Chain A
Amino acid sequence: MAVTRRALFERVLQGIGVGVVGGGLDRALADSQVETTGQASGPLTVRVSRPFDAETPVREFTSWLTSNERFFVRSHFGPPSAEAIQPETWRLTVKGLVKDELTLSLPELKKFEPVTITAVLQCSGNGRAHHRPKVPGVQWERGAAGNAQWTGVRLRDVLQRAGVKPQGLHVQLQGADRPALPTVPLFTRSIPIAKALHPDTLLAYEMNGRPLPLLHGAPLRVITPGWMAESCMKWLTEITLRADETPGYYMQQAYRIPETSIQPGSGLPGSVMVPVEQMPVKSLIAAPAEGDTLRIGPVTIQGVAWAGESPITKVEVSCDDGKTWAPARLVGEEQPYAWRHWQYLWNARQVGPTAILCRATDAQGTQQPEKSPWNPGGFLWNGWDRLSVTVAA
């Protein structure tokens, strides 16, 4: 079947509306503002059409904030049905080990003090395609990450209203999205109470100053700044205080890494697997692009670096495939949890092919490794970023 790129793209667009009934599809399309004409591939690189999983081309990372329509999209089952999240009937419930159960509408929730935080959101599987041996899962390359301004209320404030009982040590998060088959486990996660009570952990209803788009969790999602995105539950409807970590596949089997490094290619170790939480130190080159031909002379190399809850203190660049390194200049905004832009002015003098690399160091002195430790889920890739370019006279 000769599917034209245009036709394929239209299918992808339609795929966004999975499980969305009535006006939901139109809303999803309007929200995503994916171009329906012009470039066949639109602003995102699609990895899976349904559920819609797509990454941001890294050239977009030259912007401080990643726009909503260019922000990477990942979910396990696609957006929930329109009925499950329509504004009139949508409610957030807080239950379990609390003194008073709460049921809040969106206007009621917005009465808590609003807070805005700029934070990187990154899929744990970002960079999975770089792990060797290869591991199963969506083969994300570099762009399952973005930096956005999140506005919402503190999860802590809501939990304090409900009154957490002393035994409530884990906060279970459930969204309204559902699998196609009832035999597939729900995507349910929990975060430890300390992270839930951290003043920067939010229930966000705005993204970059606009109502949270459907593909990003409308009307409400969790933001755990500095932590990987599987804790940032989208389409949030239920918060349950528990004594223990949430049981079930997505907490006990998926999104876990070996506590100590294991032999690449070995199966799930009998040793301890711990939940993926903090983002490790990482940097990416946003420009030039892979495969570019550069004119001999000065070239600005630029990119981003971030390290979860820790500030970035250094980014180094190598323009000779790792033989020598020089420090880049940290530029622009500096905010906790956000990424830091960096620049390096390279005077390209030698004609021919070469590789440009970058590596970052955080305030704890942790440096980005050449390659990340292998793990069976392919999580937390943070190896040096590398571009092949050619210098021409």
Chain B
Amino acid sequence: MRGVTEGVRRERGRWSPLVAGLVLLLGIAAVTAAQEDDKHTIEPAQARRAVTLIHARCAVCHTTDLIVQQRLPPDRWQVTVEKMMHWGADLSKDEADALLQFVTARYHPGATDHLPSIEEELAMTAPAGGPSPASDGPLVGVSARGAEIFARNCQACHGEGAMGGAGPKLARNKILKNEGAFWETVLHGRGPMPAWGSVLSHQEIADIHAWLASR
């Protein structure tokens, strides 16, 4: 914007003040609009990654409606995300940056009152033609992989070694014998537990099941 102003000032000798003023106004408007666009647009793939992270890492402690109702400038968002990481939100530096970029672009002070929920964002950004459980045939879970996937995604609520915490104990839980109920719960959520169908692949869920069944 400074460049535009200086440019107009240099030209002023040859243009009438009225024209110069008009150009200045238009220039500012154009630059501002471009900046706003930059600030508020986010690529679908980026959005997809961010909402997936929000769904998986923030909803451990609170539902995502708390996030969607905020309208904050970037510095307040940054402080908030840092505070949550300090309190245990499981985000790498790179993940935190992606999340921050998204919330800053979506939930800024000028944003409209009613915005889609994180769950709606997930549905809107879902990649077309993803795997469906019906067409995949039976999946074979790998227990060794399941341990780590569990630790990263489930342990915060279900406890170390699946021994329970805010969520129920899963080691030797009878739901493991009822695969239908297990998949239904993981894919679609149940009570306070969020749906994981958009976060974990079916193979990962099968891996978690295999590991839990081995406990």
Report the minimum CB–CB distance from A78 to chain B (whole Å).
Answer: 8
Interfacial chain B residues near A138, Cβ < 8 Å: 66, 69
> Main SS of chain A's interface residues?
loop
Contact with A along B79-100 (1 / 0, CB 8 A): 0100000011000000000000
Q: Which of B15-23, B116-124, B170-178 touches A? A: B116-124
Bound complex: CA A3 to CA B117 (Å)? 10
Asked whether any CB of chain B lies closer than 8 Å to the CB of A14, the reply is yes
Contact with B along A178-204 (1 / 0, CB 8 A): 011111110000000000000000000
Across the interface, B65 reaches (CB within 8 A) one of A2, A48, A182, A184, namely: A48
Evaluate contact between B119 and A1: CB separation under 8 angstroms: yes
Bound complex: CA A3 to CA B66 (Å)? 17
Bound complex: CA A138 to CA B60 (Å)? 17
Q: Which of B28-36, B41-49, B70-78, B138-146 touches A? A: B70-78
Residues 174 to 215 of chain B near chain A (Cβ within 8 Å): 189-192
Interface centre among A15, A25, A49 (most CB of B within 10 A): A49
* Chain A interface size, under 10 / 10 to 19 / 20 to 34 / 35 or more: 20 to 34
Q: A1-B120, A18-B192 are in contact. Are A180 and B61 (CB under 8 A)?
A: yes
Asked whether any CB of chain A lies closer than 8 Å to the CB of B154, the reply is no
Evaluate contact between B61 and A139: CB separation under 8 angstroms: no
Evaluate contact between A50 and B156: CB separation under 8 angstroms: no
Kindly list 17 other residue pairs between chains A and B, CB separation below 8 angstroms, not including A3-B117, A25-B191, A134-B72: A3-B119, A3-B120, A15-B191, A17-B191, A21-B168, A46-B65, A48-B62, A48-B66, A50-B62, A133-B73, A133-B109, A180-B166, A181-B61, A181-B156, A183-B87, A184-B87, A267-B75
| A residues whose Cβ falls under 8 Å from a Cβ of B | 1-3, 11, 14-15, 17-19, 21, 25, 46-51, 133-136, 138-139, 179-185, 267
Leading 3 A-B pairs by shortest Cβ distance:
A183-B88, A14-B191, A181-B88
A-B contact pairs, 28 of them (CB 8 A): A1-B119, A1-B120, A1-B122, A2-B123, A3-B117, A15-B63, A18-B166, A18-B192, A19-B166, A48-B63, A48-B65, A48-B66, A49-B63, A51-B62, A134-B70, A134-B71, A134-B109, A135-B72, A136-B76, A136-B80, A138-B69, A181-B60, A181-B61, A181-B88, A181-B156, A183-B87, A183-B88, A184-B87
